[in-house]
Structure 1
Amino acid sequence: MNIGKKIGVGKSAQVFCWRNNQVIKLFYPNISTAWIEYETQVSRIVYQAGLAVPEVEGITEVDGQKGIVIERIEGDSMLNNIRLKPWKIFHFARLLAELQTEIHRCHVPKLLSLQKQRKLQIRAAQVLPENKQQTILDLLDQLPTGRSLCHGDFHPGNIILSASKSTVIDWSNALQGNSQADVALTLLMLLVGEEPTNLTSFFWLFLRILFCAVYLQRYLKLNQITWKQIQPWLVPEAAAWLSYCSSEQEQKSLLFIIEKLLRD
């Protein structure tokens, strides 16, 4: 079966144009069927909940490779918009907080528990000594649970902007739990994630810090919470990310953050 032009590459899959204004997300061979089925189920749940997400048709197979057929959303990612229009960074940062707030106000059943998933990921972070893992697991046990929908990979690269709407994509890491954990993870991704190639490192570092500050200020105001409620989640979220981070630089940055916060 012929597929169209490749339009996206991620850690678990590649995205290609498909027929009838759709795309197909083809997963790499190491991704389990259970994972693909979970993403399909979550995508349908959040679509039915009325969030601005692509509609999912279902799972199919192309040359022995499993994929999800999804509605094609016209537009470009928020990340690419930031690269092209850095002067609009205040607008994009506030929009990110507003979209995440909409997600967190949604409560959906039948999703995996954030707390349980983070425990599994922290135990799988082999770069952390066992005693440090246990310290972080003990910290996690002291943090409050929740029932909010948490995206689990919420950053500008997963927001598609068009003239009429903003669409959130890639729901494979969605969980049910404390929304403050999701915010902590987003902050880590904004600080540690890959930088745009068309911007100098110094300028991008300045933009990162500014973007984080505006995003966080807007989120705290919208949700009537404080930084002290977000901060305790940084260590467990960073430790969990270590189990699946994609580069040595990410790993070094996360370990540095964990060490510094544990000392403080």
Structure 2
Amino acid sequence: MRKGTLIGKGMTAEVYEWGNRQALKLYYDGIPKEWITYEAEIGQVVHHAGVPAPAVYEQLEVDGRNGLLYERISGQSLSASMISDPERVMHNGEVFARLHASIHRSKTDKLPRQKDRLAQFIEQSASFLGERVHPLLTVLEGLPEGEYICHGDLHPDNVLQSDGQLTAIDWMDANRGDPLCDVARTSMIFLSPFLAMPPISISPAYSHQLNNAYLTEYCRITGASLTDIDRWRLPVAAARLRERVPYEQEWLLAYIDEQLQALK
């Protein structure tokens, strides 16, 4: 079978139609095959756990490149919906929260531990953090454990809409832990002055409205408190530094310094 129409493109791969119901994620040269195997294993774990994620099928080679077959979700991203109908900011925040809460109802012991990953990411950010690393790891150590499935990088460009249903994609950062850590990361993405949701360009007022609607609805559904979500923001911000989002490091470091000072 030949690959069909190009339907998506990212930093590591292109996505093509494959037959009538599948999508072929075709990786660029230089992407290690073990990464693809890991992505397949993670994808199978979360799908089999019953979360709203696409099914994962076989690995294969097409045109000399390594690929992975997924269930094809026909529809646009939630970020595209935000562009086309910016007046529905409250609605978009609420449906996003409901999706996130539905993910967090499932448990597993087959994903990496959340706090282990955060500690690793903080240590990988040492070139930015310097002497802040140790106090940040101490803060992280005092936060809750958990066995709930967390996406690890849920934002509107990682959510597809099809026939009124939302599906989360891109599960490479999935972990098991406290759902409120996952919520804190999404909230920090919304609040970033350098929001990384291409091709969307939104105002700070919009992003704050989106964040407020998201947090309000998530807390309403789950009974979570904003205070408990806020406890995760400091290690989440420190771990995010390793991603080197353009221009964001200065904002993150200022936030980290402010929070560390408040703890003294």
TM > 0.5 between the two? yes
Give the aligned partner of residue 261 of structure 1. Answer: 259
Identity %, equivalent residues: 32
Shift of 1:197: 5.8
Matched, 1:158 2:158: yes
Cα gap change, 1:29 to 1:258, in 2 (>3 Å): farther
1:226-245 to structure 2, matched below 5 A, reads 226-245=225-244
Matched, 1:217 2:216: yes
CA contact (8 A) 1:183 1:230 kept: yes
CA distance in 2, matches of 1:26, 1:243: 25
1:113-124 to structure 2, matched below 5 A, reads 113-124=113-124
How many corresponding residue pairs? 260
Give the aligned partner of residue 34 of structure 1. Answer: 34
For residues 28-47 of structure 1, the C-alpha deviation after alignment (integer angstroms, 9 at most, x for no partner) is 44443333222211211222
* TM norm structure 1: 0.91
Give the aligned partner of residue 251 of structure 1. Answer: 249
Q: Specify the SS of the correspondent of 1:3.
A: coil
Shift of 1:112: 0.6
1:59-78 to structure 2, matched below 5 A, reads 59-78=59-78
CA contact (8 A) 2:80 2:200 kept: no
CA contact (8 A) 1:83 1:196 kept: no
- Unpaired runs of 5+ residues, structure 1, are none
1:12-51 to structure 2, matched below 5 A, reads 12-51=12-51
Matched, 1:103 2:111: no
CA distance in 2, matches of 1:32, 1:241: 23
Equivalent of 2:196 in 177, 191, 194: 194
Decide which moves more: 23-32 or 122-131. 23-32
Decide which moves more: 84-93 or 44-53. 44-53
CA contact (8 A) 1:39 1:173 kept: no
Shift of 1:182: 0.3
Give the aligned partner of residue 6 of structure 2. Answer: 6
Decide which moves more: 251-260 or 93-102. 251-260
For residues 213-259 of structure 1, the C-alpha deviation after alignment (integer angstroms, 9 at most, x for no partner) is 010011111111211111121111111111123x3213233223222
Cα gap change, 1:214 to 1:20, in 2 (>3 Å): same
Letter of the structure 1 residue corresponding to residue 19 of structure 2:
R
Q: Specify the SS of the correspondent of 2:44.
A: helix
Give runs of ≥4 in structure 1 deviating > 6 Å.
none
CA distance in 2, matches of 1:20, 1:226: 44
Shift of 1:139: 0.7
Letter of the structure 1 residue corresponding to residue 80 of structure 2:
N
CA contact (8 A) 1:35 1:172 kept: no
CA contact (8 A) 2:79 2:200 kept: no
